[in-house]
Amino acid sequence: MQIEPQNNGTQQAAIAAPLRPIDLERGEKLLYRLTEFGRLLWEVGIQVGPRQMIDLAETLNLVDITRPDDFYNTLKCSLLTRHEQEPLFEQMYQYFWFVRDNPNQKKSDKGQQVKREQRQLRLPPSERKRLAEHMNAKEQHKDMARDPRQSERKPSTNARDRNKDDNDLGDPQSGAYSAIERLRQKDFENYSWEEVQEAKRLMAEMRWNLGMRPTRRKAPRRRGSYPDMRRIVRRNLKYGAELIELTWRETKRKPRPLVIICDISGSMSLYSRLLLHFIHTISNGLQNVEAFVFGTRLTRVTRQLKRRDVDEAVHDVSKQVQDWSGGTRIGDALHYFNHHWSRRVLGRGAVVLVISDGWDRGEADTLRAEMDRLQHSCHRLIWLNPLLGSPDYRPLTIGMKTALPYIDNFLPSHNLDSLISLGNTLSSIDDSRPLRDAYSRRKAVEAWTRRKI
């Protein structure tokens, strides 16, 4: 009975004992590093806030942080809330704690590794700037340590190159214009993190105009093709029913509906998210736009893409779709569309936009029948293929060869310039339909097969 108070007093004294200065310094450094790691996760899109960081600091008191597995699992459980972000968290963890400040690497190896990490991880701009400054620190130190007489006597090669580059750049606006031009011509597959953000901004600034279609209604016009008998009689009553003043009507015209069917299977994973941003831009810039995505099944995402914030819209689409980055069955998806959605959305001269690379695991006969039915149900059938932008691409896969005879326009979608060309094609659509006989189909397939972009 007398031992318990003594033990409790010993434990309380141990807890209340002040930490050594070296322990306090290590704890402050660890807390600073954890805060930097949380900021990095927040910049790449993982929702990390003060509440998560406080929970992490309290949890670390209960685990042995000298064990790497315990430390990693603690950070993962405290800071991560969504399972689909685990690969991104794993990459950021490996980069921040093992690659970011490792001084034991050689300069050449480190430069190559940093370049490779920047390409694979797509780091945020602040982190890429920090890496660039870290890599150039030694070079700047060597330049400062040179003989000042030598630097005064003869300018260095680097200085001459910088002056030459500065003279070539000229107006800063022309440099920015050249950067935008390079970004427009660059393939979506090779985009870095900040280039993706810039591409989203450029997509949001695009303006779309779809061809107009004639309706069955007529509206009053000063000069028209049809006499407006009711207005003629009403206006000429004051003249004793003599036809003195004539009025006219003309056929009303409205924008055509647009139906977008996008492939989000595994083979399209490098392009899916940027193309969804592109679809979001069209959906908010045009009227009567219906959007669908498919892998092994078809999902309507029109309601999700109506949200004003593009990131929230794409997030809702990823939660709604069950077969993201899975297999591809184009024929089955089009069969479901033709039998459940075509009568609702393909009226009034709709234009159908199919976005896919043509890789298909389904039956070729099913795809052939559904493509034929889809082409006869719409005013214009356009197929966008991201692989068509490659000079060496030829439509040799079974799915693409089966679909080619039923396509009215076969266009690339691998960069911003191709999307601008698509906008010009959509705005030039008129009331006439393209030739769809067997001879015209065969000639179009031969032209697309031999085509060089």
For CA atoms 164, 168, 172, 175, give the dihedral sign: negative
Q: What is the pLDDT of residue 132?
A: 57
In this structure, the answer to whether residues 125 and 79 fall within a common structural domain is yes
Taken in order 337, 350, 283, 386, is the CA torsion positive or negative? positive
3 state DSSP class of 268: helix
Assign 438 a pLDDT band (cuts: 50, 70, 90). Answer: confident
Within this chain, do residues 250 and 346 fall inside the same structural domain, yes or no? Answer: no
Q: What is residue 129's predicted lDDT score, i.e. its pLDDT?
A: 58
Q: Is the pLDDT of residue 418 over 50?
A: yes
Domain around 408? 256-449
Region 18-23: mean pLDDT is: 59
pLDDT of residue 11: 42
- What is the tally of structural domains in the chain? 3
Q: What is the pLDDT of residue 429?
A: 87
Residues 250 and 300 in one domain: no
Give yes or no: residues 42 and 125 share one domain: yes
Closest CA to 213 of 258, 272, 160, 256: 256
* Residues 235 and 321 grouped into a single domain: no
The predicted structure's pLDDT at residue 115: 45
Same domain, 404 and 333: yes
Distance of alpha carbon 409 from alpha carbon 418, whole angstroms: 13
Single-letter code of the amino acid located at 242: E
Residue 131: the pLDDT is 59
Of the candidates 370, 377, 447, 367, the one whose C-alpha atom is nearest the C-alpha of residue 409 is: 447
In the chain, count H helices and then E strands. 20, 9
Helices (H), 145-220: 148-153, 157-169, 172-185, 193-205
pLDDT of residue 245 exceeding 60, the answer is: yes
Q: Is residue 161 part of a domain?
A: no
Tell whether pTM > 0.85: no
Residue 431: per-residue pLDDT? 85
Residue-level pLDDT at 353 = 94
Q: Please, which pLDDT band fits residue 290 given cuts at 50, 70 and 90?
A: very high
**Mean pLDDT (the chain, rounded):** 77
**Phi and psi for 424 in degrees, rounded to 5?**
-65, -35
In b/e form, how buried is each residue of 64-88, taking b as 16+ CB within 10 angstroms?
A: eeeeeeebeebbeebbbeeeebeeb
